Structure 1
Amino acid sequence: MSEAAMLNRHLAAAKPSATYRMIDRVAARRETGAKIISLSAGEPDFDTPAHICDAAVSAIRAGHTRYTQVAGLRPLREAVAAKFRNENGLEVSWQDTIVCSGGKQVIFNALAATLNEGDEVIVPAPYWVSYPEIVALCGASPIIVSCGEDAGFKLTPAALAAAISPRTRWVILNSPSNPTGAVYSRNELSALAEVLLAHPHVLVLSDDIYEHLIFDGAAFHTLAQVEPRLALRTLTMNGVSKAYSMTGWRIGFGTGPRWLLEAMEKLQGQQTSGACSISQHAALAALTGPQNFIETSRGIFEQRRNLAVRMLNETPGMSCRIPGGAFYAFAACAGLIGRTTPAGTLLETDEDVAIALLEECNVAVVHGSAFGLGPYIRFAYALDTDTLLNACESIRRFVDRLTA
């Protein structure tokens, strides 16, 4: 028997994360001494606020280093419930929550607990790279619905209605979006809700992890808030990673119908058990402590967005829609396809563009095709202004040297 035949067939067919593949490429280049500006990682560059770190140290010194309940410490679950009530208008108690080792585990647990062979999950594209792979790992089929720039990179009611079948189990909504930064308005969510109300067999996964990174004074809305009649079949996922610059702490959480949360807890109990106890105490401090860090970082990200979008739009052959949130710019690069780099590489795809930017101008980005829509490039503007300026100038010089 071959090595491949010994693997789970769903895992064997899965693709590795494109973002982590680019991170590996960056690491390999840096090992050669190259100075790389990486715009590929989806994490804030700010340090975790001091009061959160202090809470973690205090938890260690107090001996809070043992197992917790599988679904999370009750004080943290109470804080999570309060967050959903106060910020999102969801009438939930601590029993209506679950804490996991990162937002990705919330998503994985929900899908793994509910999907069977033959089930379908609607995944609007561009999508976060892990959505379709998690669906496939669970034995179901991702139904990719293309949401082009003419639709603002957002799912429309007509496209949603056309994609729903008797086999549809879930639809995934992500606002603000990774990779486009697109934000659904209240009216847009309400229109999608009208479609979903007519299909009671469809569950909704609302990925709100970038909730607090929303720009231009816009308000954030989540589906179960906009249409309470969908609350009993909606999993609302969030976490501390983006808002509080806590990506490495690995704490995500969610709220939804209790039958689903109980199934997710059962699965997690046989998988990882409770999330790291120290990280849970840190997350508690994040949710209950000072919140001024969020507004400060949001203002900085908005300034960076303006710089990145302006410079990308000034680069010949590229164009970039202004994102409404998150910290990504999704720039069209169709004008670069078919041209040749100074090193003699013919750019046939957006992946070629991304690799050439890394190898010839030491700037790392991720190609849009990895997110389900090309030819685009995703830029994570989660770096300081000077570094971001240098990266954009390097890209401009690279493009200027391309030949027809």
Structure 2
Amino acid sequence: MFQKILIANRGEIAVRIIRACRELGIRTVAVYSEADREALHTQLADEAVCIGPASSLDSYLNMERILSATIVVNADAIHPGFGFLSENSKFVDMCQKCNITFIGPSAEVINRMGNKSEARSTMEKAGVPVVPGTKEPVYGADEALEAAGKIGFPVMIKASSGGGGKGMRISESPEDFMENFNTAQMESVRSFGDDTMYIERYVRNPKHIEFQIIADKFGNVVQLGERDCSIQRHHQKVIEESPCAILTQELRRKMGDEAVRAAKAARYENAGTIEFLLDDRQNFYFIEMNTRIQVEHPVTEMVSGVDLIKEQIYIAAGLPLSVKQEDICLNGHAIECRINAENPRKNFMPCPGKLIEVHLPGGNGVRIDTAVYSGYEIPPYYDSMIAKVIVHDKTRTGAIAKMRSTLGELILEGVTTNTDFQYEILNNEDFQKGEFTTDFIEKHF
């Protein structure tokens, strides 16, 4: 087992990893930018190293500085969390050259599954259902338009290296295609330095269902059930829950089997997520694989009883999975609300600032993952998510009631947050029935 792990991240995920390491008796090292000098993760870790100014490019995305810090403090491994360098194959290669364990999949797998065109090809060869689309990447608008005509409109234009909704556009017809393609491609170049695109048929108003998998070095793959991530705004998830309210046991088993098949086809190791679209006729299609821990991993932990961060560490240390598929029994229902420092009434404008008073609710089945505290100054340089509120109950109805009660008790005074907006979603009749798809927010708000 590792003696010391450096966490190449910040915020609530850094705190989450530190706590898991502490339970395993592993020493931790936090890295931080100058803007995060007073952040909670720097205070909870055994050691903390400043790696640069506020800009992510000069700190949390600076591979050389992070590796230098790892070597100086003599850490065995790096946990990247999510975002930043978590899916950067170059960083994984650099870790290997420095004899540092990267807690995640190999660079080869990240490249294969991070490139959406190659991921589609891998899944097609394995027999996993995929949305009809281009088999090869496209680079020019003219060839892309020709491909879209063969697939049939509407189509989704996607950056091969995309994520988080960047480099994605929906085209309804040939008339709007060129403008949407050029915009998505320019966004991909700016965000990922890659002009590789692909086109797939747009599945209108589907459910977004993802399956959590864990896989070790011995070929063992276990799926831990699904999460319904259909409540989204501009392809960014807002509320996640497990299990999905509308899946039958037969469909859940079938999708879970395909998720395991997908992970094996990718020769995957560590924790990852297989994402599907589910249409109104119960057809499902692979769309992508996330080669990292997800923001919404706590809902799976709550219903499965498996600590995903600890599993990541075990796998990276060369140990077998601590559970087998027959051990997994999903219990009850869990919901997660992402609390962001933003103003929903002003187009979700970020609202950094000082938190004057913080009160975090508790009680049976309530979990708050956060790195904020009273007096904490939310910096303007990073993602606006400041907390995740997770609840668990025997039933979905009970979980919704518990979440409403919990949000009503949550106090984050000093900045504007989306807490009231989350409350409105929970009160919506269609949400309560489970009758919602990815257009829910656009349709109701």
Bigger proportion of residues as strand: 2
Global fold match (TM > 0.5)? no
Bigger proportion of residues as helix: 1
The TM-score, its normalising length taken from structure 2, stands at 0.27
Q: Structure with the greater relative contact order (CA < 8 A, sep ≥ 6): 1 or 2?
A: 1
The TM-score, its normalising length taken from structure 1, stands at 0.29
